[in-house]
Amino acid sequence: MNIGEVADRAGLPAKTIRYYEDIGLVKPPRDANGYRAFRESDLHKLAFLARARALGFSIEDCRVLVGLYQDDHRASADVKRVAEEHLTRIDEKIAQLQGMRDTLATLVHACHGDDRPDCPILKDLAEGR
């Protein structure tokens, strides 16, 4: 399989797949012409990576998860711990964004949005309440 087909089937840009090879996440063999010759197992791993990334796992988390996935003697507790830590980070992020959102929504609501210069948004930014 060439990179284009793998990209289509894994749902990743070819550029990203090359990058993943660069950082050692996949190691496809090469054809005589220098083209990457992906095996089914490479495709499978890339699809795994695509889904892990879609859940927001970092590349380093992905590396760990792939490692656990390939380890028949893994303990599910190790997987769970990685996922829980990631969940915590996501919750923190959401809380932070929610805070911004609330402040911003209040300010936007208070702003007339007309052709006059008076603006509670700028007022807040300038004075810090």
Partner DNA sequence: CTTTACCTTCCCATGACTGGAACCCCCATA
Partner DNA sequence: TATGGGGGTTCCAGTCATGGGAAGGTAAAG
Q: CA 84, 87, 88: angle at the middle one, nearest 5?
A: 90
Decide which of DNA, a second copy, none touches 64; Cβ closer than 5 to 8 Å per partner kind: none
Q: Taking CB under 8 A as the rule, does residue 119 contact a second copy?
A: yes
Name the residue among 52, 56, 77, 46 with its Cα closest to residue 65: 52
Dihedral over Cα of 110, 116, 117, 118: its sign:
negative
CA atoms of 104 and 116, how far apart (whole Å): 20
CA atoms of 52 and 65, how far apart (whole Å): 8
Cβ closer to a second copy: 33 or 76?
76
Cβ closer to DNA: 4 or 110?
4
Contact letters for a second copy, residues 29-48 (x by CB under 8 A): ---------------x--xx
Question: Residue numbers of the site for a second copy (CB under 8 A)?
Answer: 44, 47-48, 51-52, 54-56, 65, 68-69, 71-77, 79-81, 83-84, 86-87, 90-91, 93-94, 97-98, 100-101, 103-105, 107-108, 111-119, 121-122, 124-126, 128
